[in-house]
Structures are given as C-alpha cells and as structure tokens.
Amino acid sequence: MKKAFLYIILLGFLLPGMLMAQGGYSSIQYVMGFGTGDQSSFISQPSFRGISFDYQRYVSENLSAGVELGWNVFYEKMEYDTYTVESVSLSGKQYRYYNNFPMLATIQYNLKPDQTLNFYVNLGIGTMYSIKTIDMGMWRLEDKSWHFALKPEIGLLYKLNLNSALKLAGKYYTGFATGNADARSYFAISAGFAFLL
C-alpha cells in the first residue's frame, strides 16, 4: 500500500514538468470519501485517507481529455460480536477495510477555460481495483477484485497565477458488481492544486 501511495505522489510532482508544452493541467488532490450502497453496508464510516492525480489536455477550446488515478482507504472498527463468513463463525473485534484504486480515462467540458474561475463537468470511465479486508484476531480475510467503473464529476478551477490553480470537485465513483464481488461506490469531495501546462 505504501508503495502505491508513493508512486501516485511521485507522478503528481513529476508529470507537470514532463508535460509543460502540452496545454492543459495536471493536479494532485486530497480526497474524502463517503460510502454508498453495498460499500456503506460493510463500512459506514467516511474515508479521510484519499489522494488522486489527474491530467487533462485540451483537444478543443472547451473540451479536454485525460486520465485519473486515485486511492481511497475506508476503515471501521466493529465492537466485540460473533460474525459469520460463509460457514465459519468467529467472535471478537473486527477491523474492516476497503482500499479502492480508480484508474480512469476522462473527458471534460470546461465552461470558461480562459477565465480566473472555470467551472467544469467531467466523466471518467475505466476500472477500479478494490481490496476488501477483515482482520479479526490472528485471522485475515481478504478479497481482491477488479470492477468496471464510472465517475461523473463537477468542479471548479480557480487560477492563482499563470502556472497554478486551486481545484475543488465533487465526484461519484461506481465500481459495478462482478460475479464474485459486490459493487463499490462512494461519493467523494476533493481539493488540491492544479499545475497549468
């Protein structure tokens, strides 16, 4: 997990310099997540451990395309109880985790890209890698799965100067159910810095 976190941060700092001549922006953001649906049934607590990186390149005056990579950790401690998983019952405290890694191709419509304040709408499509973990005493149950994912997003960019901007966004990630894994879905609020290219 620590390696993935470090790679995402490294990308956030290296890519702006590598892509300076392309026209667009790259950003690194802190992300808070709030589980919905099946995910909130398993973990009801919000996630305050999240990060995302995205890159957008303009393909026309108002339209840009790019990629987004992210990581959100959801966690909840369950009090002492008896829990049943398949045909096994265990008693004790339970620690539950979701590690969600969305990896998306994105397209974005920018209302006023040349203005100080630019509102935008964004749609991401791709995949989400998810690790669902239950720790209980000396036992660990872990389920790793890939999901087809969609993400609508609305947000704003506020230019600070010619090279940087503040970014604030609301996103809804949906990792659809697979044959052996429930859906993973959560609403996210993100804030961070954009490096204008």
The Cα 165–Cα 123 span in angstroms is 21
- Please indicate, yes or no, if residue 143 is contained in any of the structural domains: yes
- Please indicate, yes or no, if residue 25 is contained in any of the structural domains: no
The Cα 41–Cα 91 span in angstroms is 20
- Please indicate, yes or no, if residue 19 is contained in any of the structural domains: no
**Taking the CB of residue 80, how many other CB atoms lie within 10 A of it?**
8
pLDDT of residue 14: 52
- Please indicate, yes or no, if residue 189 is contained in any of the structural domains: yes
Q: What letter does residue 180 receive in the DSSP assignment?
A: T
Q: What is the largest CA-CA distance in the chain?
A: 61
Query: 192 near 47, Cβ under 8 Å?
Result: no
- Please indicate, yes or no, if residue 24 is contained in any of the structural domains: no
**Tens digit of each residue's pLDDT (9 = 90 or more) over 138-185:** 888 899 999 999 999 999 999 999 999 999 999 999 999 998 899 999
Q: How many domains, the chain?
A: 1
- Please indicate, yes or no, if residue 20 is contained in any of the structural domains: no
- Please indicate, yes or no, if residue 26 is contained in any of the structural domains: no
H-helix or E-strand spanning residue 143: strand 139-159
Counting Cβ atoms within 10 Å, is residue 52 exposed (0-12), middle (13-18) or buried (19+)? buried
26 or 80, which is more confident = 26
> CATH no. for residue 187?
2.40.160.20
Whole-model pTM?
Answer: 0.85
pLDDT of residue 50: 97
**Tens digit of each residue's pLDDT (9 = 90 or more) over 5-62:** 555 555 555 554 444 445 899 999 999 999 999 999 889 999 999 999 999 999 999 9
- Please indicate, yes or no, if residue 22 is contained in any of the structural domains: no
Residue 66, helix vs strand vs coil: strand
Structural domain span for residue 74: 2-13+31-196
